[in-house]
Chains A and B, each alone.
Chain A
Amino acid sequence: MRPTGPRLLAEHPNTRAPNGRKPLGALLGLLPFLAYTTTFLLVPTLIVVVGAFLDGNSRPTLGNLSALAQPQIVSAFIHSTVLSAVTAVLGAVFGALLAYAVSTAREGGLLRRLVTSLCGVLAQFGGVTLAFAFGATVGFEGFVTLWLKKYGIDLAGSTWLFEPYKGLVLVYTYFQIPLMLIVFLPAVEGLRPQWREAAESLGGSTWHYWRHVAGPILAPSFIGAMLLLFTNAFSAYATAKALISQGSPIIPLQIGGTLSSEVILGQENVGKAMALGMVAIVAVVMTIYVVLQRRTTKWLGS
């Protein structure tokens, strides 16, 4: 039985000051943190949110929002969404398989530690490194390209690596799978061996166990992790920037474009509108994620 130990004591921190007043002095201790996050997190967010509704002369307008209806922006949103959804599903499926495989390995063993550390790095290391890695492999001079040329298969013919739905999907999946492992492995490890043994002793086969017990228990975590993968891909900028030199097929690149010098005055607020749109989509997805998380902790945290 897991030791409950010290945690029992801190479970009910009903520690109000003896006379019931909110400790004002204590609040001061929170000041540095609040000041910092206000300056570098909350203020920028506000600037984006408010700026989306201002025009070039800082007057309120809905013009930026209607500018979002421009064809290239709409298509950028669609591309971003589809790309994120596809890589989220791919990453989720393969990442889950990997997580299950790793969970059956010995705890604290070498394989598990190796895989977890590797995934920790690869999940963060999208961007330039990844773009170069894929370029070195399947790009114009990549060894796979050259190798396939020997067999008459010409990859370098099309700039497929730089197209959103082929190259980007492949490259994004590369960092989606590790992220899935990191996020989903704890859930898989939360499956108690007793559940499997109980299912077996009650007459269930492996299929029954997965269909009636493990599957339903893992489903919220799986979907939640997939949603996290979605926001991760949706927000990614560096990878696409390093791969794509012409055009801005996805939203983050569009936003980046509004920040560079070739921007007409007033257009930058369209960038803020786009950013607002991004935040809205991501916020919705994250809310669903949080809700799913709560249900999971109830089950797997027991």
Chain B
Amino acid sequence: MSSLRMPATDRPDGTRQGVAVALYDLRRAYGPVRALDGLTLDIAPGEFVALLGPSGCGKTTALRVLAGLEDPDTGRVEVDGRDITATPTSARDMGMVFQAYSLFPHMTARQNVEFGLQLRRIPTARRRARGAEMLDLVGLSEEAERYAHQLSGGQQQRVALARALAIEPQVLLLDEPLSALDAKVRVQLRAEIRRIQLEVGTTTLFVTHDQEEALAVADRVGVMRAGNLEQLAAPQDLYSRPATAFVADFVGLTNRLPALVEGGRAQVLGTSVPLLPGSAQRGTATVLIRPESIAVTADPAGRATVVTASFLGATGLLHTVTESGESVVAQIDNEAVSTFNPGDKVTLIPRPNPALAVAAD
């Protein structure tokens, strides 16, 4: 999961375009369901923030509140220091890319891109030039005269992106733009989106349920659950230092293992492991350990048995079960996958990386 971030000072004057965005204590309920439950979020100028979470966690609602397509029950939305909570969508100057059906079907790609400019009565020559520039930015100059139904899903989303950026918006909003696309296209296009965003420098909010996607492209990722943020941090911190069990579970793979906690350390799988701040302090607990934090050695006298070995291309995963019946998944070299057979005995030793411990339930 390599990051695509470039150094922040890649512009001649060292500044980024874009404005600051702030969401204060947003609450929104649909009947008994609380879509937003006191969400507070700051986005720095030019920053790319991803909102990540399962269905129903409120991430799309948050984005739509920012766009003005939904009204919060209480709370404030500020852009560039100004309170825009009461401003209608058409006056907010934000570019938006939807999950599907983004493009107007009766217009060509070029007409779609130029639409916002047309509404602003930009003179034709400038409008054409800007439209062409945007299509070039997303690499679709050749397809300018095609209609939506003649373009692939990935191409449609690129045009949607060009259309959103054509109006030079203060904020760029992306509502699961890649979720409807094929896996390969998704990986390609997310890199494209990030590249373009860095080039243009617009403050961006990106909503997704795919954690790999969020970690790969964002400056910071906010994991949401039940209408609020569980943790907002850079991808690296989110992954290595999860604040709650939910975040640890949601982002990446996690093993949940019983352990005894004492004095800032936990006894798990026969080894002592340091704990992250915020962990349970003493007694029985559940420790959350990542597969790559468990070392595996083939050992006829080992206390764990192999169930299956999975080849994932770049790495491998070994599924094992301990003497006490715990399921443990450990990461192994892709070359080592074929050396393990079901029924083999292995020894599992956690590495000394700090882990999160939560009270046993």
Contacts and interface: CB of A to CB of B under 8 A. Distances in A.
Interface string B76-106: 0000000000001111111110111110111
Interface residues of A, number: 22
Contacts of B39: none
The winner among A203, A216, A299 for most chain B CB atoms within 10 A is A203
A58 interface: no
A7 to B, nearest CB: 16
Nearest to B112: A198
Contacts of B167: 202-203
B96 A195 contact: no
The winner among B99, B115, B167, B180 for most chain A CB atoms within 10 A is B115
A216 B98 contact: no
Contacts of B119: 202-204, 208, 212
B251 interface: no
Given A195-B101, A197-B98, A299 B92 contact: no
Contacts of B102: 194, 198
Interface of A: 1, 192, 194-195, 197-205, 208, 212-213, 216-217, 298-300, 302
B180 A201 contact: no
Interface in B104-118: 104-106, 115-116, 118
Q: Is the interface of A mostly helix, strand, loop or mixed?
A: helix
Contact of B106 (A199, A204, A217): A217
Nearest to B111: A212
B149 interface: yes
A300 B115 CA distance: 19
Contacts of B88: 200
B179 interface: yes
A137 B68 CA distance: 50
Contacts of A302: 101, 105, 148-149
Given A212-B115, A302-B105, A203 B149 contact: no
Contacts of B95: 201-202
The winner among B89, B95, B99, B106 for most chain A CB atoms within 10 A is B106
B280 interface: no
Contacts of B275: none
Contacts of B179: 1
A149 B193 CA distance: 74
B90 A203 contact: yes
B105 A194 contact: no
A216 B108 CA distance: 13
A300 B147 CA distance: 12
B163 interface: yes
Contacts of A198: 96, 98, 102, 104, 160, 163
A189 to B, nearest CB: 13
Contacts of A299: 105-106, 149
B98 A298 contact: no
A298 B116 contact: no
Contacts of B99: 1
B92 A201 contact: yes
The winner among B92, B104, B115, B120 for most chain A CB atoms within 10 A is B104
A194 B101 contact: yes
A1 B148 CA distance: 16
Given A201-B90, A203-B90, A212-B115, 7 more contacts: A1-B100, A194-B100, A197-B96, A200-B90, A203-B119, A204-B90, A217-B104
A208 B120 CA distance: 11
Nearest to A212: B115
A132 B330 CA distance: 82
A106 B101 CA distance: 21
Contacts of B106: 213, 216-217, 299
Contacts of A212: 115, 118-119
B110 to A, nearest CB: 15
A195 B148 CA distance: 13
17 contacts: A1-B179, A192-B101, A195-B101, A197-B67, A197-B96, A198-B102, A201-B96, A202-B115, A202-B119, A202-B163, A202-B164, A203-B90, A212-B119, A213-B104, A298-B105, A299-B106, A302-B101
Nearest to A190: B105
Contacts of B163: 198, 202
Contacts of A202: 90, 95, 115-116, 119, 163-164, 167
A223 B102 CA distance: 26
A298 B94 contact: no
B69 interface: yes
Contacts of A298: 105, 147, 149
Interface string B275-311: 0000000000000000000000000000000000000
A197 B116 CA distance: 13
Contacts of A197: 67, 69, 89, 96, 98
A201 B167 CA distance: 10
A224 to B, nearest CB: 15
Contacts of A216: 106
Contact of B116 (A1, A194, A203, A205): A203
A194 B68 CA distance: 14
Contact of A200 (B89, B101, B148, B160): B89
Nearest to B118: A212
